């Protein structure tokens, strides 16, 4: 449903995306994981027909985003982190407005009523969107994005700023859309949310540095580094300066450490632990940065 092949995007001298490739299948929830400024939003805007790629090819539902951007916009839903709703319209009016952009007039009332029910918005149908809490407003934003039953749904950090319960509810709704056959591409920098995706791509400085299921990425990190817990009171700066320590941070009553393979720290008891996606991201980004630095040095 979504195919990206060696897509790059420049803004003047800045390379925002560097030869990105990925595939998203029908009914799949695919996550783009990366820090702010890594290129996630740029890729979503290209796939939505808003930006043209500087090079490479991308198709959405079989439509070339470079040649047929308007046709692409007709088959997708798009929701952003800003809860893009009209605050001076009611919840129902927001859905009606969006539905009328895509559907014939006779199909609008049914589509709106179905969406109100699916997203639990009936009690607020006649409330102004601006009066809703952040969680409900973001729920409305996603409801707007799917009211016309798009084949593909793009969600750009849809849960930013929401509390854990609201985030969990929104993710349940996202997976319900996928069960109905909608392909979902979602960007996030929340590691716990990334684990809810069927597959992930890790985007760092405009490049995809790894792809796979959460379990596959955890296994990849295990091949490159070790993760351990140490119940120590040593300062973090001291620990991070030790040979073989890639990173460390407070965890419970001790410190969680990421170590180069085979590292043993003298007089420091280490308890091996299984890596989570935060560990994965740190391992892969640090190793990628080290490889890039080595390549630059060799070129000089």
Alpha-carbon distance 162 to 190, whole Å? 11
Listed in sequence order, the residues at least 6 apart from 71 whose beta carbon sits closer than 8 Å to its beta carbon are 63
Taking alpha carbons only, the member of 236, 241, 247 closest to residue 287 is 247
Whether residues 190 and 229 share a domain: the answer is no
For the chain (300 residues), the mean pLDDT of every run of 10, in chain order, is: 97 96 97 91 95 96 95 93 85 97 96 96 97 92 95 92 88 94 93 92 95 95 94 93 94 93 89 92 82 53
The predicted pLDDT at position 291 comes to 61
| Domain CATH for 240 | 3.30.70
Whether residues 199 and 253 share a domain: the answer is no
3-state secondary structure of 184: strand
| Domain CATH for 200 | 3.40.50.300
Whether residues 139 and 226 share a domain: the answer is no
Whether residues 179 and 240 share a domain: the answer is no
- The residue from 153, 187, 212 where one domain ends is 212
pTM strictly above 0.75: yes
Whether residues 74 and 165 share a domain: the answer is yes
Alpha-carbon distance 64 to 86, whole Å? 30
Which residues constitute the domain of residue 239? 216-299
Whether residues 238 and 204 share a domain: the answer is no
Whether residues 190 and 151 share a domain: the answer is yes
Cα 99 from chain centroid (whole Å): 26
Whether residues 78 and 154 share a domain: the answer is yes
Task: Please tell me the number of Cα atoms within 13 Å of 266 on its side-chain side.
Answer: 2
Alpha-carbon distance 149 to 289, whole Å? 41
Whether residues 246 and 168 share a domain: the answer is no
- The residue from 212, 231, 256 where one domain ends is 212
Alpha-carbon distance 140 to 134, whole Å? 10
Alpha-carbon distance 259 to 166, whole Å? 35
Residue 159 main-chain phi, psi, to 5 deg: -110, 15
The two tokens of residue 8 are 């790059």
User: What's the domain count of the chain?
Assistant: 2
């Amino acid at each position: 449903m979504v195919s990206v092949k060696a897509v790059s995007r420049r803004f003047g001298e800045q390379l925002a995306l560097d030869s990105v490739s990925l595939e998203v299948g029908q009914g799949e929830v695919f996550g783009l994981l990366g820090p702010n400024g890594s290129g996630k939003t740029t890729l979503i805007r290209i796939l939505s027909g808003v930006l043209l790629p500087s090079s490479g090819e991308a198709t959405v539902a079989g439509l070339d985003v470079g040649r047929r951007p308007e046709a692409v916009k007709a088959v997708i839903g798009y929701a952003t982190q800003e809860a893009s709703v009209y605050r001076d319209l009611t919840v129902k009016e927001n859905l009606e407005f969006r539905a009328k952009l895509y559907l014939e007039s006779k199909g609008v009332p049914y589509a709106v009523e179905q969406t109100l029910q699916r997203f639990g918005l009936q009690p607020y149908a006649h409330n102004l969107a601006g009066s809703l809490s952040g969680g409900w407003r973001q729920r409305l934003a996603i409801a707007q994005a799917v009211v016309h039953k798009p084949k593909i749904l793009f969600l750009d950090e849809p849960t930013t700023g929401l509390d854990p319960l609201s985030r969990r509810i929104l993710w349940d709704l996202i997976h319900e859309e996928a069960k109905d056959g909608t392909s979902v591409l979602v960007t996030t920098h929340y590691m716990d949310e990334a684990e809810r995706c069927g597959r992930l791509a890790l985007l760092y400085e405009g490049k995809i540095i790894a792809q796979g299921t959460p379990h596959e990425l955890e296994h990849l990190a295990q091949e490159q580094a070790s993760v351990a817990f140490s119940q120590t009171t040593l300062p973090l700066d001291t620990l991070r300066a030790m040979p073989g320590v890639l990173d460390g941070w407070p965890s419970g009553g001790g410190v969680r450490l990421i170590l180069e393979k085979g590292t043993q720290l003298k007089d420091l008891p280490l308890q091996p632990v299984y890596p989570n996606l935060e560990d994965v991201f740190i391992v892969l980004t640090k190793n990628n940065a080290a490889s890039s630095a080595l390549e630059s040095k060799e070129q000089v």
